[in-house]
Amino acid sequence: MSIVFALSAISKSFGKNNQVNIIINANLEIKKGEIVALIGPSGSGKSTLLHIAGLLDTPSSGSVFINNIECSVTTSDREKTYLRRNFLGFVYQFHHLLQEFSVLENVMLPQIIIGKSNEIARKNAIELLSLVKLQDKLLMSISQLSGGERQRVAIARSLINYPSIILADEPTGSLDNDTALEVFSLLHKYAKEKNISVFLATHNHTLAKKADKIVQINSGTLQNYTYY
């Protein structure tokens, strides 16, 4: 399988003289359709690494490759925006849905942003919301949904532009165990069906074990992890 996403020698430091090392020479390759879980203790750099992977933060050194397109410290904001819109999907712990929009409008929005017509965006959004079993809640406001339902909306939104990879930062962290498993299972199912890669940061080792590969970050160092 082809490599759709890679981190090459990624480092991130803070402080006047870069004396605080958050990430140290991180390297990772993710194949098309592969689900990779990122684990590590709180404060280990998981979110920072996900933000760099999603082009939301800039590394001190190193490069991110998305479909063989290199993004480094010199890449312009305009180029990063293009890559995010066209190749990346995002799911967050607290979903970041727009409260003033309906369920349907939240899922349509990424397609509208890249220039799709309302008709096409609506059709694709309804299809995805049906897949995550929310077809009866299209016109509801976000405030009317449960936590699990909101995350299902977020998953549908992340899939709407058929990204090369979905970056998920603790997507089940605010949910109870049963709902967390349900939401993760949906993400896993549709990513596999559509052959979309997933890079998932989680504290939940039960969910991490369901990934194709697990990597661990500890004291800024990224390494493969195996359960015994």
Q: Are 202 and 208 in contact (CB under 8 A)?
A: yes
pLDDT at 45 over 90: no
More confident residue, 142 or 43: 142
Question: In 3-state terms, what secondary structure has residue 39?
Answer: strand
Q: Which residue intervals of the chain are DSSP H helices? A: 46-53, 77-87, 103-113, 118-131, 147-159, 177-193, 205-208
Prediction pTM value: 0.86
Domains delineated in the chain: 3-224 (3.40.50.300)
Over range 201-223, report the average pLDDT: 90
Lowest mean pLDDT across 35-49, 77-91, 162-176: 162-176
Within a 10 A sphere around the Cβ of 216, how many other Cβ atoms? 18
Q: Are 223 and 24 in contact (CB under 8 A)?
A: no
Nearest to 36, CA basis, from 184, 198, 160: 198
Lowest mean pLDDT across 42-56, 140-154, 164-178: 164-178
User: Can you read off the two tokens belonging to residue 120?
Assistant: 């096409």
Q: Are 64 and 52 in contact (CB under 8 A)?
A: yes
Tell me what pLDDT residue 62 has: 95
Nearest to 128, CA basis, from 149, 155, 102, 148: 155
